[in-house]
Amino acid sequence: MVRKAASVTTVGALLFAAGLLIHAQRLPTLVVPEHYTLHLTPNLTTETFQGEVSIAVRVVQPTDRITLNAAEITFVDTTIESGGRVQRATVSIDGGQETATLSVPEAVTAGPATIKIRYTGVLNRQLRGFYLSSANDRKYAVTQMEPTDARRAFPCFDEPALKATFDITATIDAHDTAISNGRLVSDTPELSGTHTLKFSTSPKMSTYLVALAVGDWVCVSGGADGVPIRICGTPDRKDQLGFALQAAEFTMRYFNRYFSIKYPFQKLDILGVPDFSAGAMENAGAIFFRERLLLVDEATASNANREQVANVINHEMAHQWFGDLVTMQWWDDIWLNEGFATWMERKPVQEWHPDWNPQLDEVRDTQSAMNTDAMDSTRPIRTPVESPDEINQIFDAIAYQKTGAVVRMVEAYVGPENYRTAINAYLKKFAYGNATGEGYWTTIAQATGKPVDGILASFITQKSMPLVTVKRSCVGDTTKLALSQKPISSAVPASTTWQIPVCFKRQRNGKVEPDACAVLSKAEDTVTLDGCSPWVFANASSAGYYRTAYDTAALEALGGALKTGALTPVEQASLIEDVWALVRINEQNLAQFFDLTAQIAKAQLTPAITNATTRVNYVSDHLIDAAQRPAFERWVRDAFGPVAAKLGPLPQPQESDERKQIRAAVLYTLGYAGRDDDVLKEARRRVDMMLGNAGRIDPSLEAGYLQLAAINGDAALYDKYTEQLKRANQSRQYQFRGALTYFSDPVLQTRTMEYALSPDIKSQDLPYVLAGLILRPWSAHNAWEFVKTNWSAIENRLGVFQGLPSVVESTTSFCDTASRDDVRRFFDQHHIRAIDRQIRQSIEAIDRCIDTRTQQQKNLSVYLR
Ligand SMILES: [Zn+2]
């Protein structure tokens, strides 16, 4: 799955303390499912569905009761057949456990048996199970099963290890079509204006990968390596599906080459759904998407937009191997799915569009994971989970980005080809079955011939991450490095160590040399390198999952290396982020971060500047008080003004994406944090021209200009934005909707809040509007009051999987004790178990901010004097 938010969700402490409850929500192991025959008949008018499921099972030992999963389903008729005898079963429902127990008068014998159930259900509006979506004045019926909602669509053994084959059939309105996991094998007209579509038998797969979507879908068709590929959506979206098809075809060929096993399903359909809770979902052979992450309007899309679409397609396609073919045994190993899909998603882009700089995005992902992991409320990659509430909460930055980063570190350490061979050995070993973390790292260690099992186990089972301190000295013609490690989070015992592959870049005989690597497994160690190097960078290629601390002299020496271009953009980016991370834990002076930022901005046009601008915007929002603001704004203009001048105000023909991205970030920060009058005026002028149909804004600058113009925007501008919400194509609607949250005029803020709860906005988009308002310092308090007042309405519309956590996460924008106490009090009174980790994490983030602000206040005043 792809989480919908770009922002990072963090997580709480260990989920489970009480060992007694372990396995409380697992099914008994007496019965093993082998094949499902599932027939669904949705009625879009009554918003209900009828279902018939026949489950061929193997009974392990005689029993007179069989328990399976079911939720919000009404059983009509249930029988169990075994040994040639059919018995009617009585059904007892346990709503809390989401199970149904089928009891028969006489024990079912060991061996094959068949459970047949006729039932009815409701097409819900919570975007889970078999649910209702709507667009263009009509309704659609769509499934989203992961993690534990297949049981809402059909009674089943809803655990990932209980894989089976599926025959799926749907009876639907004669004018509609359906998309499912298998190929369409027959289409039979029925009486009463319906037809029945039957799909081919699936390979063995988990219940959470079952898919069905019913509606007037239209598709564009292609294929690669003999696999038919279709990209589908509602009829009005047909002209925006072409880019996704190109991307999917490229990636199909890439993955077929990369993996030893050819694409394991018979065809691939990718469908954009009008209402979708996650970002996208890897149903076997039938990937479903949030439209925003799939559609590309070739005329107006920015390349960042295209890259995002390609990344998500690649992520979901990687899951067809990592997740669908080889599935984790239980949800505690969800990282085996999500971490690998996150790691793989940039590989095809690296070959298809190296100009999009995917390595830099990987480093950004790593940074976001490390920032989460530095918090006391972080969790280990592998965390015990049992109940759906707990399972829902581990689809987070730790499962995705941290695992992706750890895998990347190991890949860099053993070499990409060696690692690819090992990955293929792992896939072959567990194909159509299930794997555990141990199964993975044992296989990888054997196949690579390197002791990576120890490295992986230390990063996967221990929470948080190491801070590696490097002290350099020259002894004769050698460089001596004294290395030490300690946990970055104070919530982890100080004696904790990791097995860390540390790779160095340094200068020898006037030449820059990378690739000297050592595994640091003790708390302290020394490494000797040939030649005396004036500087050492201790995270070559930024492949490591650790923070690095240098002393002031070493940092100055690295500043010198920066000027000579000795560090690559990804290395510059991680250097900036390391210094920032140390500022956040008060082990570094904010002045040092400012100096490094100014040095990098001055030295060259590097994409690492965009890492610095993000942090500078944070400083502007949270750390600067009123007295410091004029001097701070001046510093921003001095640091970034020359970069903007070098780039020029508009992209030149044939300009690289990298240059466009740097310009967009620098102009935004000049306007947002530096309140640069020229930039703000230019943004407004360009926006007025565009809205008056007198010219367009380059796609790379449009979102930023719309936001900057809104800050001081009046009601007339606001009206024009809302007008565009009705007319613009979908991706631009998101830009206008996002920009609505930037208006500082309180009257206009109120209008945005009212809009957020109106029927004009889909539930899937609502959290971003509220979160956007809370994230802006000038609207945070009003918006938070509004959220509190309207909490029950918000709670009714948003699910606990992604919607509510996004709203809760936005409270991390507060940076004062009164707000923190208020947030805490509110969620004490409105406790929701399914999002409690997000709540704890938000409170900690506010505390961190208060702490940084207090600690760095003096440094700031001295620096900005
Ligand atoms: Zn995923």
Nearest partner of 837 among 226, 398, 289, 211, judged by Cα: 398
Residue 36 Cα to ligand 1 midpoint, Å, equals 25
Residue 806 Cα to ligand 1 midpoint, Å, equals 18
Nearest partner of 607 among 647, 561, 645, judged by Cα: 647
Give yes or no for residue 19 having a pLDDT over 50. Answer: no
Residue 478 Cα to ligand 1 midpoint, Å, equals 46
Residue 403 Cα to ligand 1 midpoint, Å, equals 12
Tokens of 96: 């809390």
Residue 281 Cα to ligand 1 midpoint, Å, equals 7
Nearest partner of 98 among 126, 122, 124, 69, judged by Cα: 69
- Give the pLDDT confidence score for residue 11 in this predicted structure: 27
Residue 399 Cα to ligand 1 midpoint, Å, equals 10
Per-residue model confidence as pLDDT tens digits over 528-578:
998 899 999 999 999 999 999 998 888 888 988 888 889 999 999 999 999
- Give the pLDDT confidence score for residue 191 in this predicted structure: 83
- Give the pLDDT confidence score for residue 110 in this predicted structure: 96
Give yes or no for residue 22 having a pLDDT over 70. Answer: no
Residue 109 Cα to ligand 1 midpoint, Å, equals 40
Task: Check if 98 is active-site.
Answer: no
Residue 288 Cα to ligand 1 midpoint, Å, equals 12
498 versus 126: which is more confidently predicted? Answer: 498
Residue 317 Cα to ligand 1 midpoint, Å, equals 9
Sheet with 286-290: list strands edge to edge.
Answer: 218-224, 227-233, 268-273, 286-290, 280-281
Across the strands, what pairs with 469? 484, 549
Residue 492 Cα to ligand 1 midpoint, Å, equals 28
Residue 187 Cα to ligand 1 midpoint, Å, equals 32
Q: What pTM, to 2 d.p., does this model score? A: 0.92
Task: Give residue for tokens 């997580």.
Answer: 11
How far are the Cα atoms of 341, 502, 528, 545, 639 from residue 525, in angstroms, in the given order?
35, 12, 10, 18, 39
The CA-based dihedral angle spanning residues 705, 710, 711, 714, taken in that order and rounded to the nearest 10 degrees: 140
Give yes or no for residue 6 having a pLDDT over 80. Answer: no
- Give the pLDDT confidence score for residue 831 in this predicted structure: 84
- Give the pLDDT confidence score for residue 4 in this predicted structure: 54
Residue 337 Cα to ligand 1 midpoint, Å, equals 7
Distance CA 710, CA 741 (A): 8
Which positions ≥6 away from 303 have C-beta within 8 Å?
356, 657, 660, 699, 700
727 versus 514: which is more confidently predicted? Answer: 727
Nearest partner of 615 among 602, 603, 624, judged by Cα: 624
Residue 865 Cα to ligand 1 midpoint, Å, equals 48
- Which residues lie near ion ligand 1 (Cβ < 5 Å)? 1, 338, 341
Per-residue model confidence as pLDDT tens digits over 734-754:
999 999 999 999 999 999 999
Give yes or no for residue 261 having a pLDDT over 90. Answer: yes
Q: What mean pLDDT comes out for the span 439-459?
A: 93
Nearest partner of 396 among 369, 417, 374, 416, judged by Cα: 369
Residue 308 Cα to ligand 1 midpoint, Å, equals 14
User: Which residue in the list 159, 316, 362, 682 is annotated as catalytic?
Assistant: 316
Give yes or no for residue 390 having a pLDDT over 50. Answer: yes
Task: Please state whether beta strands 31-43 and 165-173 pair in parallel, antiparallel, or not at all (unpaired).
Answer: parallel
Residue 316 Cα to ligand 1 midpoint, Å, equals 6
Per-residue model confidence as pLDDT tens digits over 672-723:
999 999 999 999 999 999 999 999 999 999 999 999 999 999 999 999 999 9
Confidence of residue 313 (pLDDT cuts 50, 70, 90): very high
Distance CA 557, CA 572 (A): 14
Helix axes 730-740, 715-727, angle to 10 degrees: 150
Residue 796 Cα to ligand 1 midpoint, Å, equals 26
Per-residue model confidence as pLDDT tens digits over 320-378:
999 999 999 999 999 999 999 999 999 999 999 998 989 989 998 999 999 999 999 99
For residue 523, the 8-state DSSP code is: S
Helix axes 657-672, 677-691, angle to 10 degrees: 110
Distance CA 211, CA 281 (A): 10
Helix (H) or strand (E) holding 188: strand 184-189
Mean pLDDT estimate for the chain: 93
Across the strands, what pairs with 482? 471, 526
Residue 424 Cα to ligand 1 midpoint, Å, equals 19
Task: Give residue for tokens 């979206």.
Answer: 237
Residue 420 Cα to ligand 1 midpoint, Å, equals 20
Number of neighbouring beta carbons within 10 Å of residue 862: 11
- Give the pLDDT confidence score for residue 516 in this predicted structure: 82
Distance CA 189, CA 173 (A): 10
Distance CA 51, CA 773 (A): 43
Is residue 391 helix, strand or coil? helix
- Give the pLDDT confidence score for residue 13 in this predicted structure: 27
Distance CA 4, CA 280 (A): 8
Residue 205 Cα to ligand 1 midpoint, Å, equals 16
Tokens of 860: 């700031």
Residue 313 Cα to ligand 1 midpoint, Å, equals 10
Confidence of residue 631 (pLDDT cuts 50, 70, 90): very high
Is residue 361 helix, strand or coil? helix
Residue 284 Cα to ligand 1 midpoint, Å, equals 12
- Give the pLDDT confidence score for residue 834 in this predicted structure: 78
Give yes or no for residue 219 having a pLDDT over 60. Answer: yes
Nearest partner of 724 among 732, 714, 712, 716, judged by Cα: 732
Residue 8 Cα to ligand 1 midpoint, Å, equals 15
Per-residue model confidence as pLDDT tens digits over 40-93:
999 999 999 999 999 999 999 999 999 999 999 999 999 999 999 999 999 999
Helices (H) and strands (E) in the chain, counts: 27, 29
Residue 430 Cα to ligand 1 midpoint, Å, equals 19
599 versus 256: which is more confidently predicted? Answer: 256
Task: Please state whether beta strands 524-530 and 478-487 pair in parallel, antiparallel, or not at all (unpaired).
Answer: antiparallel
Helix (H) or strand (E) holding 131: strand 129-135
Q: What mean pLDDT comes out for the span 469-489?
A: 94
Number of neighbouring beta carbons within 10 Å of residue 724: 18
Under 8 Å between Cβ of 682 and 650: no
For the chain, give percent helix, strand, coil, nearest 5: 45, 25, 30
Long-range contacts for 742-745 (Cβ within 8 Å, ≥24 apart)? 742/707, 742/708, 742/710, 742/711, 742/713, 742/772, 742/776, 743/710, 743/711, 743/713, 743/718, 743/779, 744/711, 744/712, 744/776, 744/778, 744/779, 745/713, 745/714, 745/715, 745/718
Q: What mean pLDDT comes out for the span 487-514?
A: 92
Distance CA 279, CA 424 (A): 28
Under 8 Å between Cβ of 539 and 558: no
